[in-house]
Amino acid sequence: MRFVDIIEKKRDGLALTQEEISFWIKGYVDGSIPDYQVSALCMAIYFQGMNDDEIAWLCDEMMHSGEIIDLSDIAGIKADKHSTGGVGDKTSLSLAPMVAACGLKVAKMSGRGLGHTGGTLDKVESIDGFQVALDEEQFKKQVNEIGLAIIGQTKQLVPADKKLYSLRDVTATVDSIPLIASSIMSKKLASGSDTILLDVKFGDGAFMKTPEDAEKLARTMIAIGKKLNKDTRAMISSMDQPLGNAIGNALEVEEAIATLKNEGPEDFKELCMNAGAIMLMQGKLAENEQEARAMLQKNIDNGAALGKLVEMVKAQGGNPEQVLHPELLPKAKMQIELASKKEGYVKRLKALELGTLAMQIGAGRAVKEDTINHAVGIVLHKKDGDHVEIGDSLATIHTDQPLSDEWIDHFYDCFEMSNEKVEKAPLIYKVIE
């Protein structure tokens, strides 16, 4: 088999066989197929696409390119959730304890962030001493004992995806739905859970810009899950404005804790309740959404959900006092209020630009080597549809350095105002099973 023939076949719009895809992935991982040939194939896939069988075979080969976590010795149904990411997306920090308190086992492997703010691992590391590097046995033991763990992905998990993603990033082939779907699902399937919930986001602060594109990606990933006999469902949600009010690592942890106390922003809680209900139904712990929501609310009201977060933090070496007393989390040197210069209704809030502004003051990474400042970020006080008077606080900026005039001007540009009343757009666009 010659790899140039595989490139030519896909260039001409033909479907690859399972054997050809296996030859590709095995050869790329062992170094016998060079980057420049794989780059050419990725570009051919970008333009010609792949059918459902090709995508499932690609995902399966990538999944088996490294170790696969076996969670079968953990009692009960194991659930996982993946978000395609966005600004202020701290969902796992509230959602995982909520569903774990209801009896679902959550064995979650997460990543770090590159861009506007940190990933889930960066956020939990705002808590003093929190360890994300558990080995497989520690991971499984913790999930068995307390029903919950959030750890970093091991280096042995899906090495094909690491190589392919780095290549796609520098060859303008990142936004290919077959390649995105197989990348995400290979990691989720290799992580060993029984059920997968995908939160696929669209809008200004998301990778997919329209609900139609988000739905197409979601359906592609669900098809992979079904072909590989995994209960996979998706929730399509809007990222046209930041999720919740906090953008920045410790600030988002604080907001996640507040949500577990019934004190968080309404949009963020609603997303967690929607996702939690789906996960409980996937785990056969609730028959319908109404029953599932009642279970989640009960465990928020009685403190069990917050208790689960405390248990996880304690088990992974973190300081539980920072969960019980969030004022002990890292604090920035300055809190600067930025007041509105206009009166009207917030018509649009530029999520991606707000995320970029948070990154510029240290909340995220422009390049992998950057160090994150866990304390800094933005807490919004006005969002889409809200009425604003001149002088009302739009946000509190948590920063260790004075803000430049350019930064402040850019911040004000993120708020598009209208004299007419603006209806709040729905957060959840669709749920797909």
Residue in the structure block whose two tokens are 């303008």: 172
Nearest to 241 by CA among 271, 276, 204, 277: 204
In the numeric block, which tokens belong to residue 306?
Answer: 């917050």
Helices assigned H by DSSP within 147-190: 159-169, 177-190
Alpha-carbon distances, residue 232 vs 149, 242, 319 (angstroms): 20, 26, 34
Residue in 110, 126, 183, 237 annotated catalytic: 183
187 among known catalytic residues: yes
Residue in 81, 168, 201, 382 annotated catalytic: 168
Is the alpha carbon torsion for 183, 187, 193, 196 positive or negative? negative
Neighbours of 322 (CB within 10 A): 23
161 among known catalytic residues: yes
- How buried is residue 304: exposed, middle or buried, by Cβ count under 10 Å (0-12/13-18/19+)? middle
C-alpha to C-alpha distance for 114 and 9, rounded to whole angstroms = 35
Q: What are phi and psi of 231, to 5 degrees?
A: -65, 105
Strand 231-238, strand 387-388: pairing: unpaired
Residue in 82, 108, 188, 269 annotated catalytic: 82
238 among known catalytic residues: no
Neighbours of 325 (CB within 10 A): 11
Find the helix packing angle between 159-169 and 177-190, rounded to 10°: 150
Residue in 187, 201, 269, 365 annotated catalytic: 187
Catalytically annotated residues: 82, 161, 168, 183, 187
